[in-house]
A and B are shown apart, each in its own frame.
Chain A
Amino acid sequence: MRVTTNLIFDQNFRAINNSQGQLSDIQTQLATGKKLLKPSDDPVGASQVIRLTEEIDKISQYKRNNDLVTNALELQETSLRSINDVVNRARLLAVQSGNGILSEADKQALGSEIEQLRNQVVDLMNTQNASGEYIFSGYQSASQAFEFNPTADDNHIRFIGDNGTNSIQLSDSVTIQSTTSGKTLFEDVQARLDFSFSNVNGVTFDDYSIKNQRTFDQFHKTNFDPANPANNEYQFDVISANQIQVTNVGTGVVVDSLSFEAGEIVTFQGVELTMQANSGDSFQLDLNRPKKTNLAETLHNFFIGLNDPNLNPQEFSTIVDDTLVGIDNGLTKMARENSSVGARLNIAESVEGSLLDAEIANEKARSSIEDVDYAFASSEFAKQETALEAAFASFPRIANLSLFNYI
């Protein structure tokens, strides 16, 4: 090939230019620590980096959510534990008061302690979080969950929030409940199941009570019919001097036949009756519709009972029974919720663990796409540098070679 003067210069210039360009690219990579400087360096990688960065940012947000949910749940756990302690003390006092040897003064002393405990429970049911929200009010967290109105006829401690519960997202797929409504937690507590008499005809009761609550509860649960009230009515007919026949009013089915002696105990499904009756007398035993009473209300009713000197022992012991069953049901409900809170805390913890794993994996993936391999880049830099130096060194020598220098 014929080599012309311009060719020599052009080619050298091109070589130096190329070399400088590559050197500057590698230098930028070394300086920024990234090999992916613009999307065209690795188009697929660039869009992966966008996705991975979003993923990583999302994970750090989820971790923050996790902290918040943990705090919220721990606050709930704490208030539930406190309520538990208070109510257990109340239960102790209730058992104590049921032994029947308490004087009025003793009862009043107990009453004032129960009053304190009730106030504590109401306070705890209106627990507020750090930002002043009532945590058991449902969505209406700006107002109290429970309102105490001592002058009301019934339902002195009334739930005024709603059913609402909030959730918090802990990962793309896991959302857990962060709040619990006081309605499900405290309000939706079954009161003691009970019965009442009606259409009493010639029978006088000496004593009556549910001696075996469990048997009665079982009977109540299996047989209570919310749609047809007549099915809940049981007609007791004294058919002879020592025989009572029990018939279901709604269905007309003879349920039971009991032997009877005046003044002696007759047992029907956990209920013990002592009465005076003659053949042909009758009465109805009606299963009461189940009621719901919150813990504070139960304590309040107990407090009223303790302070009421007009109650006969029969009535007082009913109140004590109501209190004990109400407290037990309330504690069961809370225990269930507490274990659910614990389970959610466990979920939060395990989700956090897997988020951390995912974070590391994502960081690693992103790094392998966009971060520079220093060893590789530095050796590449040295290589390009050598090439450029060689071009610099050789160029003047070629350029200076001219026949004109010799003529």
Chain B
Amino acid sequence: MIRNADLFTMATSGLNASNKLLATTSNNIANINSEGYVRERTEFTSRAGGGVDFGFTDRVLDVFAQNQLRRDTSAVGEYQAFNDRVEGINNILATEANSISASMTRFFAALQTATDDPTNMASRDAVIGEAKGMLNRVNQLGDFLRAKEQETELQIQSTVSTANGLIQQIGDLNEAIQVANGNTNVDTPSKLLNQRDQAILELSELVAIDVRDSSNINSGVVVNLKSGESLVLADGAFNVFDIGGDPDYTSKDLKLKTNYTPPKQNTTINILEQKIGGALGGVFKYREQVLEPAQRDLGKLATVLADSLNTQNRQGMDLDLQLGGNLFDVAKFNGINYPSNSDLSLGVSGRIQEGGSGEITSNDYKITVLTTPTGSPPSFDVEVAAIQTDGTPELDNQNNPITQVINVTAQPGTYNRVIGGIELEFDDGSGYAVGDEFLIQPTRNAAANLNLATTRAEDYAFAKPLRVNTSIDNLGDAELIHTRISNSVVDLTFANADASAFNGNFGIQDSSESPSPIFGAPVKVRFTAEDAYEVLDSDNQVITSVTGANDLNNLLAQAKDSGVPTWPTEFSALNDYPGYDFSLEGNPVVGDEFSLEYNNNGVNDNRNAIEMASMQQYDFVNLSNGQQSNKATFNEAYASLVGQVGSAAASSQIDLEAAKVMQSQSSDWFESTSGVSLDEEAANLIQFQQSYAAAARILTTAQQMFDTILQVAR
């Protein structure tokens, strides 16, 4: 073996090497608490001519552990973000003080109490009080969800700007690392690498990413979204996220914007928000899967509750002996124009059709203009499509999209009935163009915008506006079993096809008020045999006669269907005229009479109140958007909302726990490779100290040898 180096050189290289080892160890100890620090190790090879080489300090890193940690961090980030937010709603729904369910139960209980004694003002006032309480709960929860929505939008914004900062940082570091690598080929630029890894880890918490080393550029990394779109390129170029609001500027969506240097054209790429993972994906998922559906479900419940109670109240007579009015005001809603529409000043607005609550779902609707407006006022065809909150079409039970093509008239004040229990009002004008699109959200803010229409306790219509009087001269034993009021719309001009036979002046239309030129509205039934009867108006004119009646149910409907002469055409032309009916039981005798009259002074009547109070136990609210037959009571609908949010929270908790366990395992794995162990470093310290001392000893030995030689020579 040839050694051409002398002891001094070897001693010096040994000292240097030990020094460097001690420096690495000290650095490891010093950085024990540094975030993102990766343990370093200096490795030496022996020099060819003797002594030790300069050595190479590198980070001790397991790339697989690192990637696993990033993936698990993304998962935790996603579930943590989702879970944190769901918990917010979950907690508020649970509190008894905020429960709509409890306030609805109290409202109906107050209604029951008032029903038992309909003239008692104190119990009527209690109903108003409970109605206010119920409304406050609904409004509060609606406001709360709206605030949560705004908070979410802000959250998305700030998360996106953080992510963009990180993306830019990673790109910059990519560039810097290349430069550093070019400058020196001794040690790795570990500080920069650590910084970049840390930035990548932070980014992985916000979005799910794939990281791989660049194949052509040394120590550059490529960062992609899980779905493949690239965020950072190896040469330092990067793409950033861009937030849009198309068409709904209050509901952000995400795009990717390139960051090319001119003259290369920049482009934007749409990305699927729910699939991007990480905290950002979690927030989007929460918005699409929990917050927006909850908001709409609550809006649906509020709307159906208000509309059903309104409808029932309108069929009654209040304590002022007037026909009942609305109890709640369901707010109108404005459509949102798509930015590509031909004329952004033309809009569409809508309202819930009175009595249309049976069809209300929690869907949004997309309106597309299909034909060019013609005529005056302009009319054209539109397509109304039910869509879910994420913009995908709602499917019916046959898996077909729920759509309707309908001709509408664009004139303020003209409401066009469409699917879903809603009515649309278009702005005046023929400027609508084929392809114009609008988004309407009937239930989104309905809960927050619900109002009381009356605060007068007298306005609760507990009575029915009609009573049936049995003539005292009746010889038969037939008696009234049921009076049905289905319509009490007052319109003596009959321009409204919904008009009823009530004259709005505490009475039923006589021959001068009714739509027929001859007859007044039917007010009396006179039997001409046990199964035959005549229907008379208030002037005792026979409108029609029925023979061979099978039963005595809905006598007026039977007269309408099979009476001779036929039911006056003016009556049957209206949608629901006269709007009332009654049924008897027993055996009438020839000459028996039953007459209908407006329920003047009928303050003790509680028939309508009973029906109103019993609404608590009947199914009104559509549970499924696709199928109209699946309905639930108000309370069940609320319970299902709570259940949905609860199960989303519960499953996200489980997911979060699982992801955390995964993350702790991969972080343990990563830490066990790359973490600093003080004990190990202590041992190293001693070891390198000793090797340093030994190298120093070589030097003294060499010195002594030199001295010895000198003394010999002296």
Contacts and interface: CB of A to CB of B under 8 A. Distances in A.
Interface string B249-280: 00000000000000000000000000000000
Interface string B98-118: 010110111011001101111
B604 A4 contact: no
Given A140-B604, A178-B116, A226-B590, 18 more contacts: A1-B672, A2-B675, A7-B672, A11-B668, A14-B664, A39-B650, A43-B644, A57-B106, A58-B616, A131-B119, A131-B120, A163-B467, A163-B480, A164-B605, A227-B591, A290-B475, A404-B678, A404-B682
Contacts of B106: 57
B468 interface: yes
Contacts of A169: 112, 115, 610, 613-614
Interface residues of A, number: 67
Contacts of B601: 139-140, 142-143
A2 B646 contact: no
B629 interface: no
Contacts of B667: 10
B635 A51 contact: yes
B153 interface: no
B463 A2 contact: no
B472 A183 contact: yes
Interface string A131-149: 1010001111111000000
A407 interface: yes
A138 B599 CA distance: 11
A332 interface: no
Contacts of A10: 664, 667-668, 671
19 contacts: A2-B673, A2-B675, A4-B671, A5-B678, A39-B94, A40-B646, A40-B653, A41-B650, A61-B109, A64-B113, A131-B119, A139-B602, A140-B600, A140-B604, A142-B604, A164-B599, A166-B606, A167-B606, A169-B115
B559 to A, nearest CB: 21
A51 B638 CA distance: 9
B632 to A, nearest CB: 10
B682 A403 contact: yes
B642 A50 contact: yes
Contacts of B675: 2, 4-7
B467 A407 contact: no
Given A61-B109, A162-B469, A133 B32 contact: no
Nearest to A290: B475
Interface in A58-114: 58, 60-62, 64-65, 68-69
A332 B67 CA distance: 95
Contacts of B288: none
B676 interface: yes
B677 interface: yes
Contacts of A178: 116
Contact of B463 (A4, A139, A188): A139
Contacts of A60: 109
B686 interface: yes
A43 B677 contact: no
Interface stretch (B85-93, B139-147, B162-170, B573-581): B85-93
Given A139-B599, A162-B469, A68 B683 contact: no
A369 interface: no
A393 interface: no
Nearest to B604: A141
B115 to A, nearest CB: 7
B672 A3 contact: yes
A407 B686 contact: yes
Q: How large is the interface on B (under 10, 10 to 19, 20 to 34, 35 or more residues)?
A: 35 or more
B604 A166 contact: yes
Given A1-B672, A4-B677, A227-B591, A402 B682 contact: yes
Nearest to B682: A403
B468 A163 contact: yes
B422 interface: no
A39 B591 contact: no
Interface in B73-96: 86-87, 90-91, 93-94
B268 to A, nearest CB: 38
A46 B641 CA distance: 10
B470 A183 contact: yes
A164 B113 contact: no
B562 to A, nearest CB: 22
B679 A403 contact: yes
Contacts of B642: 39, 43, 46-47, 50
B133 interface: no
Given A2-B672, A139-B604, A164-B604, A402 B678 contact: yes
A284 to B, nearest CB: 22
B636 interface: yes
A37 interface: yes
A386 interface: no
Contacts of B115: 168-169
Nearest to A38: B94
A38 B617 CA distance: 25
Nearest to A166: B606
Contacts of B118: 166
Nearest to A173: B617
Given A5-B678, A292-B472, A39 B119 contact: no
Interface string B593-631: 000000111111111001001101100000000000000
B475 A68 contact: no
Interface in B115-129: 115-120
A152 interface: no
B146 to A, nearest CB: 20
Among A7, A139, A227, chain B packs the most CB atoms within 10 A around the CB of: A139
Contacts of A175: 610
Nearest to A172: B617
B536 interface: no
- Between B32, B120, B614, B647, the greatest number of chain A beta carbons within 10 A of the residue's beta carbon is seen for B647
Contacts of B683: 403
- List the 3 closest A-B pairs by CB distance, nearest first: A39-B646, A4-B675, A40-B649
A53 interface: yes
Nearest to B475: A226
B463 A403 contact: no
B639 interface: yes
A54 B101 contact: yes
B645 interface: yes
Interface in B365-394: none
Interface string B654-690: 0000000000100110011101111110110110000
B635 A50 contact: yes
B340 interface: no
A5 B39 CA distance: 12
Most-contacted residue by chain B among A39, A42, A139, A167 (CB, 10 A): A39
Contacts of B648: 40
A179 B606 CA distance: 11
Given A131-B120, A175-B610, A407-B686, A39 B472 contact: no
B119 A53 contact: no
Contacts of B32: 5-6
Given A4-B676, A140-B604, A57 B109 contact: yes
Nearest to A67: B116
A53 to B, nearest CB: 7
A53 B676 contact: no
B640 interface: yes
A7 B599 contact: no
A2 B116 CA distance: 78
Nearest to B60: A2
Contacts of B94: 37-39, 46
A50 B650 contact: no
Contacts of B600: 140
B467 A162 contact: yes
Contacts of A352: none
B250 to A, nearest CB: 27
Nearest to B122: A131
A44 interface: yes
A187 interface: yes
Contacts of A41: 646, 650
